[in-house]
Amino acid sequence: MMEVNLLDLYPKTKRNPDERAETINDEDKRIAKQFGKEFFDGSRNTGYGGYRYDGRWVPVVERFAQHYGLTAGSSVLDVGCAKGFMLHDFQKAVPGITVEGIDISQYAIDNAMEGVKPFLHVGNAKDLSSYGDKSFTLVVSITTVHNLRLADCKMALREIQRVGKHAFITVDAWRNPEEEARMKKWNITAETFMHVDDWKRLFDEVGYTGDYYWFIP
């Protein structure tokens, strides 16, 4: 298990948490947590404000491929794959690689990129029972498992650990009171978010030994 920032080449958000907090209300959060059209392609108050492919995952995927030694014989599962942008870039970066993705959102799967849509399925991170033990070279889950309540979050971490030979996740977290305040202003979907040390204790509790990093706005 290693804390490693494999998303260092991913563009950082330019949105101001203070301004975001001033415009978002409880109804916006309720809608966002449905992970439907309004979350992906609605207003910025309920999610992305338009989730479209722009190639930003390309350098990240190249980092993954190098770090984990991925080849044409490798396989990747994206837990929380959304519209499949990252898996599309895996196909380009590592020709011949096997890709698969699950997401809680039927809307995201229905509106996925055509090249990866056949490999995407509606599913929940807490239940990967359709996959065998160590059936993927790498399981990736970016800002997804924290959207589950604690008990289900633990189940998801155990499942990711079970089905992947390697794993990398990112979760909402903070390291100091200033970051905690920003996170609470920023968050609209996470159910389980905590100090980085508490996350590490949780990883030990559930036996997660994969790699990890933090989303801190």
Mean pLDDT, the chain, integer: 96
Residue whose structure tokens are 């301004």? 19
Task: Give the span between the Cα atoms of 47 and 24, in whole angstroms.
Answer: 10
Give the pLDDT score at 122: 98
Locate 40 and state its tokens: 């992906």
| Nearest alpha-carbon partner for 126 in 150, 109, 143, 108 | 150
Domains (range + CATH), the chain: 17-215 (3.40.50.150)
Which residues of the chain fall below pLDDT 70?
none
Give the pLDDT score at 57: 97
Locate 113 and state its tokens: 């990129």
Give the pLDDT score at 21: 86
Locate 25 and state its tokens: 């209300």
2 in helix, strand or coil? coil
| Contact (CB, 8 A) for 139 and 86 | no
| Contact (CB, 8 A) for 99 and 138 | no
Give the pLDDT score at 136: 98
